Amino acid sequence: MKVLVIDSHNMLHRARFGFGDDEHKIYYMFFRMLMGEIKRHNPDCVYIVDEGSPTQSLSLLPSYKADRVRLKDPGFHREKAEVFEAIKNLSGLIYMQHDDFECDDVIGHIATDLHPSDDVVIVSTDSDFIQLITDNVQLWHPKDKKFLDPWTHVNYVTWKALRGDSTDNVPGVRGVGPKTADSLCKDLSKLDEFLDAKQDRREAFDTSYAVIKLKKVTSKGLRVLQSDFLVDELFEEFSQRGFKSIVGKAWAGWVQRMTDAGGKYGQTNTTD
């Protein structure tokens, strides 16, 4: 079974920078990109994963993502809501979200818990998914148009816990640069010696490691929605927005691919 997993907010923010400037640009670009990924990967099943709250990470590190400012663009938030309404009610694809876990954690749950023996492709520019790459889990970088290689030289989570992540306000260990992180990751006894030399180093590393490593998602509270693929209604949605390039000659082919990709969810118990 071929499973495609879409990091939806990653795709939505990339859609902001697509061509055009009308009121439906993000909606249009999201579905255009989604159509492209479905065509490229030809999956049997597609998950559209929505964002939740980083409850565990905030309990470990209250300053986690504290520097991020909510996008002050009412048009973006309106279109985002419209995209998810179409996904949940018309598309036939699987929408998944958990209030207490980030999108990254839910994607990890899909790849490792729900489809451990299936071929899984994750679509995202987020490098944290490198920690999920295995023989059957691949990470497709949609901007670079390539599969990212697994990290075989060092452990990704250990390396990043040493270096930190300024975009998420994860501090890492003070004074550790990329070369030092490489060296420490390649010699675990040297790493332990380095971390134990100062108490604040071990504490900073352990906290950063726990935040960066994907969390184990509980099925309780996991929201899973999947409508029938309502072809006529989705055609009307696209037509009303003037998406001629979607509802024109390419429409029949996309309908077939969407139909093929509408595999049913049902491998775990969930609550809504």
Domain ranges of the chain: 2-151+216-260, 156-212
Per-residue confidence band for 240, with pLDDT thresholds at 50, 70 and 90: very high
pTM > 0.85: yes or no: yes
Q: Is the pLDDT of residue 267 over 70?
A: no
Residue 18 pLDDT: 76
How large is the C-alpha radius of gyration of the chain?
A: 20
CATH classification of 2-151+216-260 is 3.40.50.1010, yes or no? Answer: yes
Across the range 201-215, mean pLDDT stands at 96
Q: Is the pLDDT of residue 27 over 80?
A: yes
Residue 97 backbone phi and psi in degrees, to 5:
-160, 150
Across the range 85-101, mean pLDDT stands at 97
> Which has the closest alpha carbon to 49: 91, 81, 108, 8?
8
pLDDT tens digits, one per residue of 151-203? 999 999 999 999 999 999 999 999 999 999 999 999 999 999 999 998 899 99
Residue 266 pLDDT: 56
Percent of the chain having pLDDT more than 70?
97
On average, the pLDDT of the chain sits at 93
Per-residue confidence band for 124, with pLDDT thresholds at 50, 70 and 90: very high
Across the range 108-134, mean pLDDT stands at 96
Residue 271 pLDDT: 40
> Which has the closest alpha carbon to 105: 134, 126, 76, 88?
126
> Which has the closest alpha carbon to 92: 195, 232, 193?
232
* Rounded distance between C-alpha atoms, residue 105 and residue 56, angstroms: 11
Strand-pairing partners, residue 95, are 48, 225
- Number of alpha carbons in the 13 Å side-chain half-sphere of residue 154: 20
Q: Which residue has the higher pLDDT, 49 or 75?
A: 49
* Rounded distance between C-alpha atoms, residue 36 and residue 19, angstroms: 16
* Rounded distance between C-alpha atoms, residue 47 and residue 10, angstroms: 14
Percent of the chain having pLDDT more than 90?
87
Evaluated on CA atoms 99, 53, 122, 151, the torsion sign reads: negative
